[in-house]
Amino acid sequence: MPKISGNNLAEHRQRTRTALFHALASLLSERSFDKITLSDVAARAGVGRTAVYNHVADKEDLLLAFIDDETQRYATTLANALQGIEDPVDRLRVYVREQALMTPRFHFPAHVRLSESVSRDTAGHLRSHGGRIADLLRAILKDAIDAKQIPDQNVDTLVNLIQATVLGGNTVPTQIHERAMYLRMLDTYVLRAVGAEISDHDVPAVDHSTMPQSMIHEAYRAQGISEQRSALRCPVAH
């Protein structure tokens, strides 16, 4: 009987799934999806190949499960960051900052083009997952337009432009002062792009203590940012 890692079978299954997800993410940073096999994933995860089939039917099934898990965690982290912030423009500013800081942990490398390596059905599922995050931004922009804080304009186009700006492959600097300057410039750039007034106050700080610590540690460690609360709460340098 296989050795169970964890206090019970459910915990063992979750640990195995997490190991498979991490292994897939690691492999995707090295080569294209079509060059990855389930055997590769199992070997990287340190589990038997047959054990993989206790969790997924095939490679695309693993990919969908992985992206669903990442999307859910990403959306939860963003939603928690926005809690208690009523002003639509400030919500936009927090959304942009958190996206920039979390992107390296929760997104595939820029060179990965999954839609070209999977079936049509799977590609459709992948697009729907990405849409869940865009829907959050879309709602923020619509609120800003309704509040007359930004001009009435095509929201879908705005979403695409903002996402391209934030997720366009630029890496947020890890050095604190350089990072602060980058985030300030990003904030100003997006506000000008959507037609909002430049705020006379910093991007609202986020109380990350309300979020699962595993999310915070993973997201910010990817940027080399300290996990101390003072650093996590710091949107810009003073």
Which residue type is seen at 128?
S
Please tell me the predicted confidence (pLDDT) of residue 217: 39
**Is there a shared CATH topology between the 1-55 domain and the 67-232 domain?**
no
Which of 16-30, 71-85, 137-151, 193-207 has the weakest average pLDDT?
71-85
Please tell me the predicted confidence (pLDDT) of residue 134: 86
Please tell me the predicted confidence (pLDDT) of residue 141: 97
Residue 25 has pLDDT above 90, yes or no: no
Domain positions in the chain are: 1-55, 67-232
Which residue type is seen at 18?
T
Which residue in the block uniquely carries the two structure tokens 């595993």? 214
Say if CB 41 and CB 24 are below 8 A apart: yes
What percent of the chain shows pLDDT beyond 90?
A: 39
Q: Give the pLDDT mean for 37-64.
A: 90
Residue 195 has pLDDT above 70, yes or no: yes
Which positions ≥6 away from 215 have C-beta within 8 Å? 73, 76, 77
Please tell me the predicted confidence (pLDDT) of residue 208: 59
- Among residues 33, 26, 27, 89, the alpha carbon closest in space to that of 61 is found at 33
Please tell me the predicted confidence (pLDDT) of residue 225: 39
More confident residue, 132 or 155: 155
Which residue type is seen at 77?
T
pTM, entire model: 0.68
CATH of 67-232, one of 1.10.260, 1.10.3470, 3.30.420, 1.10.357: 1.10.357
CATH superfamily of 1-55: Homeodomain-like (1.10.10.60)
DSSP three-state, residue 53: coil
Residue 30 has pLDDT above 90, yes or no: no
